[in-house]
Chains A and B, each alone.
Chain A
Amino acid sequence: MTTLTPATDAQVATIERRRGSHVWHVIRRDPLAMMSLMIIGVFLIIAIFAPILAPYPEQGAGKSSPKTLYLPPSLEHPFGTDELGRDVLSRVMYGARPAFIVPVVVVVIAVAIGAPLGAIAGYKGGWIDEGIMRVTDLFLAFPSLLLAMAITAALGRGLENAAIALVISWWPWYTRLVRGIAVGLRERPFVEAAQSIGVRDSVIVFRHILPNSISPILVQITVDMGTVILVAGGLAFIGLGTQPPDADWGLMISTGRTAVLNQWWISMFPALAIFILILAFNLLGDVLRDILDPRQYQ
């Protein structure tokens, strides 16, 4: 028997590097993706270091300033001041905190609940599949915002309750997504191989089905980050999410909307922040989809 010539260590190392940095490599050469990543990075830094970076940290946190009501943008207040005299730039910076925390918490919990359920449904099939999917259908029958509104209204206003409501209305999307992938994976030879070895179904789901569903989940997470920011902002806008005096972009747009013709800056800048951040997440999601999908759905 002839043995195959093993690859040299140098070759192996090259392959390793290539694989590990494949995604990063493509993103780095894609100006749109790089820009999105940088925007998200800047917003994240602002959110984390808001108390240090904000020119008026106390006002950002909610302290009113009766002497500076409704000032238009100037050097002192680049984004102007709001109806309580607070510096809008500082408020927007503080508002980046819930804008990041809520989507991250919501999406992480939604994936943690939704993905395993979808994997089980898709892999097991039969009545387990039927059972799980009919329940998700029940949740999916309502528009996410409407369902989140109803649940927040029932639980009571506030950021935490809004987050819980968003989780409840978001996990079924991941169940459905992962189920679709799992149905395809179930037929793949490596899953059949695991079955023929005698691996338990529960182990197959977590060792084979879920790890091989990661790419589409990652894409969905990126896109959902933007959507959750929007819906959380919407909840805050109608007064169900973040409560004053905490800063929140949706809340700021809401309080500034009555004065939008005269004091446009109060609503304009938080709206711009939402717009830019969601755009960045969506663009990044698109790029990730292009990188990760062709191989996943081959």
Chain B
Amino acid sequence: MSFSANGAEAGKRPLVRVEDVKKYFRLSGGWLAGKKYVYAVDGVSFDVAEGEVFGLVGESGCGKTTLSRLILKLIDVTDGVVQFEGQDLSALKGNDLRQLRQQMQLVFQNPIGSLSPRQRVLDIVAEPLKTHRHMSKEERRANVIDLLEQVGLGEQHLDRFPHEMSGGQCQRVAIARALALEPKLLILDEPTSALDVSVQAQILNLLDDIRRRLNLTYIFISHDLSVVQHISDRIGVMYLGKLVALGDSERIFNHPSHPYTQALLGSLPLPDVSHKQELVVLEGSVPSPTNPPPGCRFHTRCPIAQAICQEKEPELRQIEPDQFAACHLI
């Protein structure tokens, strides 16, 4: 099994390719304030192979949600290329884009908020079908019931409004809606972080189950490394709009090389006491993405930072057969 910096496992073609993608948001401070930008995503590259679960981790504000919207082309890239099945998304418009959107669907963090408060479950789950499939009302209803059963709900939920259901049930409805068009890619944007711990496990198991059954590809976004590790094949770690580490999930989890990954893991409560690990605790908070620090963006909080880190920006490079990191010192 070999990795390339930009690559998935050899032999599998990439379903999604993200190449040096950048997204800067212009801050509207009026003409007096001058031009200011939020560097939300600043040069990120990775591939996601078909059938793979790619985990994307980072603190809030690191750009992972922006990145997910860029992949779906809900917002346009400032620079760089996003490819889906070899097709450049930036060229797509109107109907072609709508067609392609059937192939990739999004599940949101806030399950209740992602469902319209004035629609019943039937209408919510049927919306993708109404949009893209020609079928009779009865067929649609049957299809919706089938989808609900796939996510552990049933016919009795058809007439419910979102606020009449629990967060976990709402997330199941959202997943059913995402599955309606039989997509190839599911982007899961913190699908469990708004849920109770017990429900989290149920939803994670459900997602894992669905993926195996339908042979889907996931991009799983979370700030919680333990959740991502549970489900992912490979993990990318983001910090301030940059990918700082990338690699095999087991490898990243057991032998983190980048100091930021180590710190993220250090903040995890580990059940195994014998699991020896130096505890790295991060101090301070994430610098503003409006004015990212020069050099390595992590140097302001890095426990092992040297002079070079303030001057030169590290490249993402291979340090092990299946692990990449952007750091001068390893």
Contacts and interface: CB of A to CB of B under 8 A. Distances in A.
Interface of A: 1-4, 6-7, 9, 12, 15-16, 19, 188-190, 192-200, 203, 207-208, 211-212, 214
B75 to A, nearest CB: 10
B168 interface: yes
Interface in B67-116: 72, 74, 97-99, 101-102, 104-106, 108-110, 113-116
B116 A212 contact: yes
Contact-size category for B? 35 or more
Interface in B115-132: 115-119, 127-128, 131-132
30 contacts: A1-B205, A1-B209, A3-B152, A4-B152, A4-B202, A6-B153, A6-B154, A6-B156, A6-B157, A16-B159, A189-B108, A189-B114, A190-B114, A190-B116, A190-B117, A192-B106, A193-B108, A194-B127, A196-B74, A197-B128, A197-B181, A198-B97, A198-B99, A198-B101, A199-B131, A200-B131, A203-B131, A208-B116, A212-B117, A212-B118
Contact of B161 (A19, A200, A207, A208): A19
B93 to A, nearest CB: 12
B311 interface: no
A7 B158 CA distance: 13
Nearest to B204: A1
Nearest to B115: A190
Contact of B105 (A1, A189, A196): A196
Contact of B106 (A2, A19, A193): A193
Contact of A196 (B101, B109, B110, B159): B101
A12 B156 contact: yes
B152 A1 contact: yes
B177 interface: yes
Contacts of A15: 160, 164
A203 B126 CA distance: 14
B116 A211 contact: yes
Interface of B: 72, 74, 97-99, 101-102, 104-106, 108-110, 113-119, 127-128, 131-132, 152-154, 156-157, 159-161, 164, 166, 168-169, 174, 177, 181, 202, 205-206, 209
Given A1-B206, A1-B209, A192-B74, A198 B114 contact: no
Contact of B127 (A1, A7, A197, A212): A197
A3 B166 CA distance: 13
Contacts of A2: 202
Nearest to B172: A4
B166 A4 contact: yes
A126 B127 CA distance: 27
Given A198-B132, A211-B116, A193 B101 contact: no
A193 B131 contact: no
Nearest to A188: B113
A196 B152 CA distance: 24
B131 A198 contact: yes
A19 B118 CA distance: 12
A12 B154 CA distance: 14
B125 to A, nearest CB: 11
Closest 6 CB pairs of A and B: A198-B98, A198-B101, A189-B114, A211-B118, A190-B116, A189-B113
A19 B162 CA distance: 12
A192 B168 CA distance: 20
Most buried by B among A1, A207, A214: A1
A214 B108 CA distance: 25
B140 to A, nearest CB: 14
Given A16-B159, A196-B74, A197-B181, 5 more contacts: A192-B74, A193-B174, A196-B101, A198-B131, A207-B127
Contacts of B117: 190, 212
Contacts of B161: 19
A208 B118 CA distance: 8
Contacts of B97: 198
